Amino acid sequence: MGVRLIVVDDHRLLAEALASALKLRGHRVVAAAAPTAGAADLVIARAPEVCLLGTAAPADPGVFDPVVKIKRERPQVAVLVLGPVPSPRGIAAAFAAGASGYVRHDERIEGVERAIMKARAGESAVAPQLLQGAFGELLNPAAQPDDEAQRLLEMLTPREVEVLVRVADGEDTRLIAAGMGIAPSTARTHVQRVLMKLGVGSRLEAAALAARTGLLDRAGPLRGVGGAEPDLP
């Protein structure tokens, strides 16, 4: 049975070409659009089974924000990221945002279709070799330079630093929200952004990275300096 899909890519020709190929294979493509900046609103409005989201830069900060928004508003939609060969951290960031899988742009249509079917079934869809690279880097991380903690701190806002410290303290979303005086949904969004910026796939990995690089020692005095902040939409 065909899958109800939306295909989004910054390159409209790529989106339309992929959409046409999938239609020929019996799938129902309800939209093929560009750019990806409007992907979240389109998916939320049309509610497909699977969204194919193209990206040219999986390592860029905020690139997976649309995924976070889609999963918050339409958790039943499976998001499948299409992109170049990513770094292991890029894959981790995609999954941290809520993606169901990652497929290379140069994958054959048969491979894309297999990933779509897995995503619709609730399974993770990522090539074994990409997973091996991700696990290899997580298990045997490259040596961090002495200023790694400072580099990571510079990537985070003061509010995100506070969130990271609280995550490392073992606070869950409810406690983070209560301690910072924000809504749980806002706290959850902050946590997702911290994970994406650090390039990790879980709160545990974020805490481990912060501890290993000495980031927590530097971040502790900064806790609470962000001031009041309105809830995120």
Is residue 62 within 8 A of residue 196, CB to CB? The reply is yes
pLDDT at residue 13, as a whole number: 85
Q: How many CB atoms lie within 10 A of CB 222?
A: 15
Q: Which two tokens stand for residue 96?
A: 């941290």
Q: How far apart are CA 186 and CA 173, in angstroms?
A: 9
Residue found under tokens 């928004």 = 69
In 3D, which of 63, 68, 121, 138 has the Cα closest to residue 97? Answer: 68
Q: How many CB atoms lie within 10 A of CB 20?
A: 12
pLDDT at residue 231, as a whole number: 45
- Is the peptide bond preceding residue 35 cis, with omega within 30 degrees of 0? yes
pLDDT at residue 232, as a whole number: 45
pTM metric for this prediction: 0.58
Please give the chain's pLDDT, 233 residues, in tens: 699 999 998 888 888 999 999 999 999 999 998 887 888 999 999 999 999 999 888 777 788 999 999 999 999 999 999 988 767 777 878 888 899 999 988 888 999 999 999 999 999 898 777 766 665 655 555 544 446 778 888 889 999 999 999 998 889 999 999 999 999 999 999 999 999 998 888 888 888 888 777 787 777 544 444 444 444 44
Q: Which two tokens stand for residue 91?
A: 């894959």
